[in-house]
A and B are shown apart, each in its own frame.
Chain A
Amino acid sequence: AQTVTQSQPEMSVQEAETVTLSCTYDTSESDYYLFWYKQPPSRQMILVIRQEAYKQQNATENRFSVNFQKAAKSFSLKISDSQLGDAAMYFCAYIEAGNQFYFGTGTSLTVIP
Chain B
Amino acid sequence: DVKVTQSSRYLVKRTGEKVFLECVQDMDHENMFWYRQDPGLGLRLIYFSYDVKMKEKGDIPEGYSVSREKKERFSLILESASTNQTSMYLCASSLLAGDSYNEQFFGPGTRLTVL
Q: Does B41 lie within 8 Å of A105, measured CB to CB?
A: yes
- Give B81 Cβ to nearest chain A Cβ, in Å: 21
Q: Is B108 an interface residue (CB 8 A)?
A: yes
Q: Does B101 lie within 8 Å of A44, measured CB to CB?
A: no
Measured between beta carbons, the chain B residues less than 8 angstroms from A68 are: none
Q: Does A99 lie within 8 Å of B88, measured CB to CB?
A: no
Chain A at the B interface: SS class: loop
Select the stretch in B17-25, B69-77, B90-98 that faces chain A: B90-98
Chain A's interface size range is 20 to 34
Please pick, from A43, A44, A50, A97, the residue contacting B103 in the complex, using a CB distance under 8 A.
A50
- Give B27 Cβ to nearest chain A Cβ, in Å: 14
Q: Does B101 lie within 8 Å of A95, measured CB to CB?
A: yes
Measured between beta carbons, the chain B residues less than 8 angstroms from A44 are: 106-109
Measured between beta carbons, the chain B residues less than 8 angstroms from A6 are: 42
Measured between beta carbons, the chain A residues less than 8 angstroms from B43 are: 91, 103
Q: Does B90 lie within 8 Å of A47, measured CB to CB?
A: no
A109 to B16, CA, bound (A): 37
